[in-house]
Structure 1
């Protein structure tokens, strides 16, 4: 009966990642079962945090939702968690791996940064934000994919998370601006390359936009490389899924390039046939 409940809880988390992130599901489905379902449970937590902000139109409601989630995380930290599939699944993960709860709190801090949003001034501020919303996920996953060496690989896990978040930003520039009224491109970099908000509003893809976009893309690619240089220290059974995840996300940048940098009016994604060719 206990195993049946656990199986149902883990399936609940798997269904969330299958629905919301085909790229992550595709990459991490290659892990052994115990690790695979641990990744799914962590993704489900992050999805809940993200939805708490994105699915509520009123700032006060967003804040209340994040505060409620932080309260539930407090309960979890005291082994008093809610009787709910997500929290039961996460308890299994914490009982199985040498987990650190701080990155889960950092993830909530990142979501709060989106509630009271202001465009980052500098690339450093963008990367700080990217740590909280994505680098923190790397740290959550680290004890699962580097069971022996996770204490030595924190920077590389954060590098991968930040690279993926910058990739997301470069993919979603138009959507973020027109649907969410957010500009994640750092203000100083926009000034440096001569791409102002009026051009963004006009959905103008000129050389200044391409130069700005490439500047940030190259930074993401540098971080992907920094992660890849340490891949050999991760668990043997996790290397291929990790490399697949990094390769698939990195490929989004090439898709945007192939689409003539149109991330202002077009949704860019890696086609299924291309994904299959990229599995490591």
Structure 2
């Protein structure tokens, strides 16, 4: 008799392809989630590769046809079929091993459609709604990997969505200049009006007091949305807590880097240095150790 092959090993080349996608495109995610055990780590790589494929349909190719093709592939996958390519082979293994649901994957594609017919958000509520589709959905994709084999309640789902939206707001604040050059303004109209920020200011790349005020208004909301999962981090699997908390600290650190760079995000993208990233992971590790110690003390252990 022959032992059944581990599907993760059997599809090693497919997961290697996914890993290359995340390694090339997201240093923060790759650094944080590489701390996961192998199966969960590979699951994150596959989820990220799907999200990158969706994002590239809009940001790289600006192609509704490509996005519609990805939608058809997802529909086929959802119906039990197997589209061609390493992405789908890897996702097939992940869906077989973890309690994944295709609903947030479809939501991600809806978010990309909104970018193809982009209009500036009227207020923070509209921005957060958009943020759910393009990033809160990712939190729901990752949650079955980070709390595997155990029920997930609505409160934890809300935490995962909030984290995704927080990260999207951080991305928007990091990429204000790049988005302006691409013809998009994600800073809400109401926030800009309240701060006295004009489109002429953005066009001239003026990081003036009005820009900093509008930027900080969105930053405060982003920082608020990081807190629920940080508070509930012990509800994740023990082996997933540090990677998830590290991703939170690393992403939140991008905003501090923009501030340290003098709000130069209209001119260039700020990036957390390797040294600072290592310090942020250490901060996450220390906070997690304190929380775990406090939890044990509360249990009388």
The reply to whether TM is greater than 0.5 is yes
CA offsets per residue over residues 229-252 of structure 1, 9 Å max, x none? 111111111000001000000000
Give me the whole-angstrom Cα distance separating, in 2, the residues matched to 1:268 and 1:86. Answer: 30
Max Rg structure = 2
| Alignment correspondent of 1:156 | 159
Give me the whole-angstrom Cα distance separating, in 2, the residues matched to 1:54 and 1:14. Answer: 20
User: How far apart are 1:149 and its partner, in Å?
Assistant: 4.0
| Alignment correspondent of 1:85 | 86
User: How far apart are 1:266 and its partner, in Å?
Assistant: 2.1
What is the CA RMSD across the aligned residues, in angstroms?
1.3
Alignment match of 1:212 (pick from 214, 233, 244)? 214
| Alignment correspondent of 1:133 | 134
| Alignment correspondent of 2:293 | none
Give me the whole-angstrom Cα distance separating, in 1, the residues matched to 2:6 and 2:170. Answer: 41
The equivalences for 1:85-234 within 5 A come to 85-147=86-148, 148-152=150-154, 153-178=156-181, 180-234=182-236
Unaligned runs of 5+ in 1: none
| Alignment correspondent of 1:11 | 16
Give me the whole-angstrom Cα distance separating, in 2, the residues matched to 1:8 and 1:2. Answer: 13
Give me the whole-angstrom Cα distance separating, in 2, the residues matched to 1:266 and 1:53. Answer: 21
User: How far apart are 1:5 and its partner, in Å?
Assistant: 4.0
Give me the whole-angstrom Cα distance separating, in 1, the residues matched to 2:253 and 2:280. Answer: 9
Q: TM-score, normalised by structure 1?
A: 0.95
Give me the whole-angstrom Cα distance separating, in 2, the residues matched to 1:143 and 1:49. Answer: 21
Give me the whole-angstrom Cα distance separating, in 2, the residues matched to 1:2 and 1:244. Answer: 29
| Alignment correspondent of 1:54 | 59
Alignment check: 8 A CA contact 1:73 1:81 kept: no
User: How far apart are 1:173 and its partner, in Å?
Assistant: 0.3
User: How far apart are 1:276 and its partner, in Å?
Assistant: 1.8
| Alignment correspondent of 1:24 | 29
CA offsets per residue over residues 127-182 of structure 1, 9 Å max, x none? 0001000000000001110122423411000000000000000000011102x110
Alignment check: 8 A CA contact 1:156 1:227 kept: yes
Q: TM-score, normalised by structure 2?
A: 0.89
